[in-house]
Amino acid sequence: MRTARALVVDDDPDILAVLQMRLESMGLDVSLAGSHHEAVRLLAARGFDVALFDLRMEPVNGLKLMEDAHAQHPRMPVLIMTAHGTIDNAVEAVRQGAFDYLTKPFVPEELRGKVGRALSERRWARDRTLLRAVGETLGSSGTMDRILDTIAQATVEATEAERAAVFLLEGGRLVPMASAGLGGGSLDELAEAARAVIDKKMPAMVSGQEGRMMLGAPLFVGGGAAGALMVETPIEPTAEDLELLALFSSQAAVALKNARELERLRSGALAALGRMAAQVAHELRNPLGGLKLFAEYLEHRLDQAADPEGADVARKINREIDHMTELVREITQFGRPSALRRGLTTLNGLLESCLVLAQARVKDAGIMVVQELDPSLPPVSLDHREMRKVFLNLLVNAFEAMQGGGTLTLRSRLAEPGWVEVSVEDTGPGMSEETRARMFDLFFTTKETGTGLGMPIARSVVEQHGGRLEVRSQVGRGTQIRALLPVEAP
Ligand code: ADP
Ligand code: MG
């Protein structure tokens, strides 16, 4: 571990000299400043674990300096130094956010005790943040995304960094999975640093452009580095930052491992269930085909026999058989996703025809449909039979969500270069957290006659096309589902 850093600011050089000696004898790395100006410059360049400011300085006093310092380092403990007999000032300093005060001339035990406490208090504050984050992460039964988000967020909070990001190795490529903090701009430099950290297999500091510092720690999952937890700060980090980051990354690795195992278990069980369903469905296909023939024959006979009541019943039987056949078809298709038969497709045309079909399938009581289809879209390479299922299902879901009426908006547009985006938005009731988390599970449905197959099929088809589905939903406001698809086959 690196030594803790102290910053001492006083306009009296003798005091500086005394404090330097005393603090260094306590094992601290001491920086000195004789003025507000100089102190601000040092504070902008690096973090400190503790600061000692003289109260009476010209033209700006120690309390103002503390305010400036806290604006940049909100959790840095500050000790305000006052002359003997000005206890009121000392109390006021603490009220304004000083950790404690020191009276001049210094009593060695008091100095040692208060500085020591300031240092351990800082550690304690960070540990608290860490513990809370750890608890939350482990307690959340959430998905991998949510766990990684929590880790990034907690890292930013505990290290006071500008930005934290989690990178995972996927097929040799480093993919940013989550980021938090206010730092903006490209993640490329951070990704490069992450690569270095992973190669080194240990926490490290990397300097970037414009004096930016990047710290990173590899995420070890099952013997190898699965990625890295990175933070970016404009100032040189303090003693504990690296140590803290290493702690976080080991925590993150555990969470990651759990999430992966859970996902594997879940998908294994689902796959088994899916195979069984597919087999049952397959067995049903032939008898259903037979039933359909008989029912049609019956309907025809009863029509001819001028038995309208009987013919009506036969028609109902026919409709039910159609419904079952559809179900069976969906289930068997999910069992083994077919190879794509891609062709250049006019996306807007496909969308319009799906819209017509979806509208016909549901009783759209008082639903307004808005179409915003970008006419300048290029032809997209996709399997239109498969994609039709996706769009149909998204549209039908949206219609079904708006039983009491509302607005459905269907959009298409060019997203990032080389990508098109189709969005289906409704003003329905939205989804609860629970529904949102399970909507892609096979057979999950909240509808009386739902199959719970639409969304998992939609996702698997979109992903087969090299695209992705994104869901935004707000309870009481509505739902937007976006399908992002590459224009060309990847
Ligand atoms: P199904 O439509 O047969 O229920 P899906 O897989 O298509 O199955 O959808 C799963 C569940 O996701 C639905 O039952 C519903 O709870 C939820 N859902 C999907 N789309 C929407 C939407 N637009 N608004 C509200 N809930 C939705
Ligand atoms: Mg559906």
Q: Is the pLDDT of residue 39 over 60?
A: yes
CATH number, domain containing residue 255: 3.30.450.40
Residue 105, preceding peptide bond in cis (omega within 30° of 0): yes
CA angle 422, 426, 428 (to 5 degrees): 155
Instruction: Identify whether 359 is part of a domain.
Output: yes
pLDDT of residue 391: 94
Closest to 409 (Cα-Cα) out of 393, 421, 420, 398: 398
Assess whether 109 and 185 both reside in one domain.
no
pLDDT of residue 122: 67
CA angle 210, 213, 217 (to 5 degrees): 150
More confidently predicted of 132 and 303: 303
**Whole-angstrom Cα distance, residue 193 to residue 173?**
14
**226-230, 323-327, 371-375: least confidently modelled range:** 323-327
Mean pLDDT of 235-258: 74
Q: Which of 113, 128, 143 is the endpoint of a domain?
A: 128
Mean pLDDT of 318-335: 79
Assess whether 80 and 180 both reside in one domain.
no
Which spans in 142-238 are helix H?
144-159, 188-200
Residue 478 Cα: closest atom of ligand 1: 24
Using CA positions, which residue lies closest to atom 19 of ligand 1? 397
Q: Best substitution site from 361, 395, 397, 399 to test ligand 1's pocket, by max atoms within 8 Å of Cβ?
A: 397
Q: Is the pLDDT of residue 271 over 90?
A: no
Residue 450 Cα: closest atom of ligand 1: 3
Assess whether 213 and 153 both reside in one domain.
yes
Which H/E stretch holds residue 294? helix 239-304
Residue 452 Cα: closest atom of ligand 1: 8
Ligand 1 centre distance from Cα of residue 487 (Å): 27
Nearest ligand, CA 448: 1
**Whole-angstrom Cα distance, residue 236 to residue 46?**
4
Mean pLDDT of 101-121: 86
Using CA positions, which residue lies closest to atom 20 of ligand 1? 397
More confidently predicted of 224 and 38: 38
Q: Is the pLDDT of residue 419 over 50?
A: yes
Instruction: Identify whether 441 is part of a domain.
Output: yes
Instruction: Identify whether 172 is part of a domain.
Output: yes
Using CA positions, which residue lies closest to atom 23 of ligand 1? 398
More confidently predicted of 165 and 331: 165
Q: Is the pLDDT of residue 1 over 50?
A: no
More confidently predicted of 436 and 331: 436
Residue 396 Cα: closest atom of ligand 1: 2
- Contact between 256 and 144 under an 8 Å Cβ cutoff? The reply is yes
Q: Is the pLDDT of residue 127 over 60?
A: no
Mean pLDDT of 225-238: 80
**Whole-angstrom Cα distance, residue 414 to residue 384?**
18
Assess whether 68 and 150 both reside in one domain.
no
Mean predicted lDDT score pLDDT of the chain: 84
Tell me what percent of the residues of the chain surpass a pLDDT of 70.
Answer: 87
Using CA positions, which residue lies closest to atom 25 of ligand 1? 430
Q: What residues make up the domain containing 190? A: 132-265
More confidently predicted of 426 and 207: 426
Q: Is the pLDDT of residue 188 over 70?
A: yes
Mean pLDDT of 56-74: 89
- How would residue 67 be classed by pLDDT, with cut points 50, 70 and 90? very high
Ligand 2 centre distance from Cα of residue 185 (Å): 39
Q: Is the pLDDT of residue 475 over 90?
A: yes
| 460 CB-near residues (< 8 Å, 6+ apart) | 334, 337
Ligand 2 centre distance from Cα of residue 393 (Å): 5
CATH number, domain containing residue 384: 3.30.565.10
Ligand 1 centre distance from Cα of residue 452 (Å): 7
Pocket of ligand 1 (CB under 6 A): 393, 397-398, 401, 426, 428, 431, 435, 439, 444-447, 450-455, 479
Mean pLDDT of 58-79: 89
Look-up of token digits 């009491």? 404
Q: Is the pLDDT of residue 275 over 90?
A: no
Q: Best substitution site from 334, 407, 455 to test ligand 1's pocket, by max atoms within 8 Å of Cβ?
A: 455
- Contact between 54 and 103 under an 8 Å Cβ cutoff? The reply is no
Which class for 124: exposed (0-12), middle (13-18), buried (19 or more C-beta within 10 A)?
exposed
Kindly list the distances between the CA atom of residue 192 and the CA atoms of 166, 184, 234, 330, 356, in Å, as whole numbers in the listed order. 13, 16, 17, 44, 49
Q: Is the pLDDT of residue 136 over 90?
A: no
| 230 CB-near residues (< 8 Å, 6+ apart) | 164, 165, 166, 167, 190, 193, 194, 197, 214, 215, 216
Q: Which of 81, 102, 128 is the endpoint of a domain?
A: 128
pLDDT of residue 106: 85
Ligand 1 centre distance from Cα of residue 97 (Å): 52
Assess whether 35 and 164 both reside in one domain.
no
Ligand 1 centre distance from Cα of residue 397 (Å): 6
Residue 430 Cα: closest atom of ligand 1: 25
Residue 398 Cα: closest atom of ligand 1: 23
In this predicted model, what pLDDT tens digit does every residue of 147-184 receive, in sequence order?
777 788 778 777 777 788 888 887 778 888 778 877 66
Nearest ligand, CA 444: 1
Kindly report the number of other CB atoms within 10 A of residue 121's CB atom: 15
Ligand 2 centre distance from Cα of residue 426 (Å): 14
**51-55, 297-301, 319-323, 395-399: least confidently modelled range:** 319-323
Position 454, amino acid: G
Edge-to-edge order in the sheet of strand 5-9 = 29-33, 5-9, 50-54, 78-83, 100-104
Ligand 1 centre distance from Cα of residue 72 (Å): 47
pLDDT of residue 467: 94
Q: Considering its fold, how many domains does the chain have in total?
A: 3
Assess whether 136 and 122 both reside in one domain.
no
- How would residue 85 be classed by pLDDT, with cut points 50, 70 and 90? low
**13-27, 71-85, 175-189: least confidently modelled range:** 175-189
Q: Which of 67, 100, 128 is the endpoint of a domain?
A: 128
Instruction: Identify whether 285 is part of a domain.
Output: no
Q: Is the pLDDT of residue 233 over 90?
A: no
Instruction: Identify whether 388 is part of a domain.
Output: yes
Assess whether 75 and 59 both reside in one domain.
yes
pLDDT of residue 446: 92
Closest to 92 (Cα-Cα) out of 123, 61, 138, 120: 61
CATH number, domain containing residue 44: 3.40.50.2300
pTM: 0.44
Instruction: Identify whether 209 is part of a domain.
Output: yes
The whole-angstrom distance between residue 253's C-alpha and the CA centroid of its chain comes to 16
Tokens of 314: 């036969």
Nearest ligand, CA 458: 1
Q: Is the pLDDT of residue 140 over 60?
A: no
pLDDT of residue 476: 93
Assess whether 414 and 358 both reside in one domain.
yes
Assess whether 151 and 11 both reside in one domain.
no
Mean pLDDT of 280-306: 88
Instruction: Identify whether 295 is part of a domain.
Output: no
Assess whether 146 and 116 both reside in one domain.
no
Using CA positions, which residue lies closest to atom 17 of ligand 1? 439
**138-142, 222-226, 276-280, 342-346: least confidently modelled range:** 138-142
Residue 456 Cα: closest atom of ligand 1: 6
Assess whether 103 and 57 both reside in one domain.
yes
Closest to 261 (Cα-Cα) out of 319, 221, 234, 314: 221
Q: Is the pLDDT of residue 129 over 70?
A: no
Assess whether 14 and 70 both reside in one domain.
yes
Q: Per mean pLDDT, which of 353-357, 359-363, 402-406 is the most reliable?
A: 402-406
Ligand 2 centre distance from Cα of residue 428 (Å): 14
Mean pLDDT of 297-324: 91
Instruction: Identify whether 305 is part of a domain.
Output: no
- Contact between 394 and 481 under an 8 Å Cβ cutoff? The reply is yes
